[in-house]
Homo-oligomer: A and B are copies of this chain.
Amino acid sequence: MTRARTPEEIDALITAAQEGDRRALARLITLVENEGPAVEAVLQRLYPLTGNAYVIGITGAPGTGKSTLVNAMTREYRSRGLTVGIIAIDPTSPFSGGALLGDRVRMRDLVGDPGVFIRSMATRGSLGGLARATDDVVLLLDAMGFDRILIETVGVGQAEVDIASSAHTVIVVEAPGMGDDIQAIKAGILEIADIFVVNKADREGAERTVMALQAMLGLAPRTMTHHGRRMRVDMPEEARAWVPPIIKTVATRGEGVPELVDAVERHRAYLLESGEFHRREATRVAHELDHILREALLQRLVRRISPARLEATVQQVVARRVDPYTAAAELMRREEEARGEDRGDGGA
């Protein structure tokens, strides 16, 4: 279905998407998801347009009502005059795509609204790949002018946690009666939460869930979250001023949703005023540069060393005639030689 596109075609897609053509936007996202050479061209063109969207991650165990909550938050943001992009990360394999379809049916009332764009992404392939593609799709929606971007992930594994924690505000959703444990305890989800939601708060046990969360927050007074990493609290005053609130919602009826959106906006104001927003952005950019450099440096090395040499090196390591660290150092030495020869200065 996807094929290589010329720079002119990409320009035309970007212009069309900026003018509100949804199919053009969907095609750009597909280009970016597939991670071809087109990604770099698209993102280079769009990058100057980014930096305005505010990114909100919503994570929680299956059954906590995340999708319904995302829909309700979207309606609330729309009523406040803001546009919303939704990225739904779906860990379901191809064999059970039913849930996804169900979610989209529930979102039907949002579909006709030009101020809302919904995209589902599946967790096939590698983890790193998905986190990267999600970041790129966020940039794309940001460049297209969406005010708020909601990333919905199932909080069952570290992968989903990593994806959610690249957001500016992370909402962790719980529900009463999901088992003995609060799901947040698992997989370090507690540490990344900026806001807790107890959804389905009309159900029995909601108050117990709230109290369990309060107790947990009390247990962890010495650490807090910075862009997904835990830090000690012996740092500047402004960095520890945010205490994650616990908000009760009944998403199906929209109850508590205005309060939740208020809390998100309060957290946004806090990040901006404390300088923390800028610090998180710098960390995000440093990680992105780090990733791009690793990839580009490896590509440069591979271009400068013959495929036969690379294959021979792999076979030598397989045969244990050389260890991988020594083999890598030797390849790097050869790369510098090859570069010297390229430029005619003789090499080392």
Inter-chain contact B127/A188, CB cutoff 8 Å: no
Q: Say yes or no: A296-B40 contact (C-beta < 8 A), given A92-B186, A123-B158, A187-B91.
A: no
Q: Which residues of A are at the interface with B, using a C-beta cutoff of 8 A?
A: 40, 43-44, 47-48, 50-51, 91-93, 95-96, 123-124, 126-128, 130, 156-160, 162, 181, 185-188, 190-191, 216, 219-220, 278, 281-282, 285-286, 288-290, 292-298, 300-301, 313-315, 317-318, 320, 323-329, 331-332, 336, 339-340, 343, 345-346, 348
| B127, B296, B298, B315: the one within 8 Å of A127 (CB) | B127
Query: Which residues in B have their C-beta under 8 angstroms from that of A47?
Result: 320, 323-324
Inter-chain contact B157/A160, CB cutoff 8 Å: yes
Query: Which residues in B have their C-beta under 8 angstroms from that of A293?
Result: 298, 301, 328, 331-332
| B91, B282, B288: the one within 8 Å of A186 (CB) | B91
Q: In the docked arrangement, what's the CA distance between A292 and B313, Å? A: 13
Inter-chain contact A325/B43, CB cutoff 8 Å: yes
Inter-chain contact B278/A332, CB cutoff 8 Å: no
Of all chain B residues, the one with the shortest Cβ separation from A157 is B157
Of all chain B residues, the one with the shortest Cβ separation from A326 is B44
Query: Which residues in B have their C-beta under 8 angstroms from that of A301?
Result: 293, 297
Of all chain B residues, the one with the shortest Cβ separation from A181 is B96
Copies of this chain, complex-wide, total: 2
A sample of 8 inter-chain contacts (CB < 8 A) reads A43-B323, A91-B186, A95-B216, A157-B158, A292-B324, A294-B297, A297-B298, A345-B345
Inter-chain contact A190/B93, CB cutoff 8 Å: yes
Query: Which residues in B have their C-beta under 8 angstroms from that of A191?
Result: 93
Inter-chain contact A219/B325, CB cutoff 8 Å: no
Chain A contact residues: over half helix, strand or loop, or mixed? Answer: helix
Of all chain B residues, the one with the shortest Cβ separation from A331 is B293
Q: In the docked arrangement, what's the CA distance between A348 and B93, Å? A: 50
Inter-chain contact B298/A317, CB cutoff 8 Å: no
| B40, B320, B332: the one within 8 Å of A48 (CB) | B320
Closest-CB distance, A64 to chain B (whole angstroms): 15
Query: Which residues in B have their C-beta under 8 angstroms from that of A92?
Result: 186
- Lowest 6 A-B CB distances belong to which pairs? A157-B157, A47-B323, A297-B297, A294-B294, A292-B328, A285-B317
Q: In the docked arrangement, what's the CA distance between A336 and B187, Å? A: 42
Q: In the docked arrangement, what's the CA distance between A216 and B93, Å? A: 12
Query: Which residues in B have their C-beta under 8 angstroms from that of A345?
Result: 340, 345-346
Inter-chain contact B292/A186, CB cutoff 8 Å: no
| B93, B127, B216, B292: the one within 8 Å of A325 (CB) | B292
Inter-chain contact B185/A328, CB cutoff 8 Å: no
Q: In the docked arrangement, what's the CA distance between A262 and B285, Å? A: 51
Of all chain B residues, the one with the shortest Cβ separation from A127 is B158
Closest-CB distance, A260 to chain B (whole angstroms): 25
Q: Say yes or no: A289-B328 contact (C-beta < 8 A), given A294-B295, A315-B282.
A: yes
Q: In the docked arrangement, what's the CA distance between A187 and B318, Å? A: 30
Inter-chain contact A95/B190, CB cutoff 8 Å: yes
Inter-chain contact B292/A298, CB cutoff 8 Å: no
Closest-CB distance, A309 to chain B (whole angstroms): 12
Query: Which residues in B have their C-beta under 8 angstroms from that of A285?
Result: 314, 317-318, 324
Closest-CB distance, A219 to chain B (whole angstroms): 7
